[in-house]
Chains A and B, each alone.
Chain A
Amino acid sequence: GAGVSQSPSNKVTEKGKDVELRCDPISGHTALYWYRQSLGQGLEFLIYFQGNSAPDKSGLPSDRFSAERTGGSVSTLTIQRTQQEDSAVYLCASSLGLDRGLSDTQYFGPGTRLTVL
Chain B
Amino acid sequence: AQKVTQAQTEISVVEKEDVTLDCVYETRDTTYYLFWYKQPPSGELVFLIRRNSFDEQNEISGRYSWNFQKSTSSFNFTITASQVVDSAVYFCALSENTGRRALTFGSGTRLQVQP
- Decide whether A and B assemble into one complex: yes
Interface residues of A (CB under 8 A from B): 31, 33, 35, 42-43, 45, 48, 50, 56, 58-59, 89, 91, 93, 98, 102-111, 113
Binding-face segment, B12-20, B57-65, B102-110: B102-110
Alpha-carbon separation in the docked complex, A45 to B105 (Å): 9
Interface residues of B (CB under 8 A from A): 31-33, 35, 37, 42-47, 50, 52, 91, 95, 97, 99-108
Inside 8 A of B105's CB, which chain A residues have their CB? 42-43
Q: In the complex the two chains form, is A110's CB within 8 Å of B43's CB? A: yes
Q: In the complex the two chains form, is B100's CB within 8 Å of A109's CB? A: no
- A interface secondary structure, majority: strand
A103 touches which one: B47, B52, B99 (CB < 8 A)?
A: B52
Alpha-carbon separation in the docked complex, A106 to B105 (Å): 13
Alpha-carbon separation in the docked complex, A91 to B42 (Å): 13
Inside 8 A of B100's CB, which chain A residues have their CB? 45, 48, 50, 56, 58
Inside 8 A of A42's CB, which chain B residues have their CB? 105-108
Inside 8 A of B42's CB, which chain A residues have their CB? 110
Alpha-carbon separation in the docked complex, A111 to B89 (Å): 15
Inside 8 A of A109's CB, which chain B residues have their CB? 44
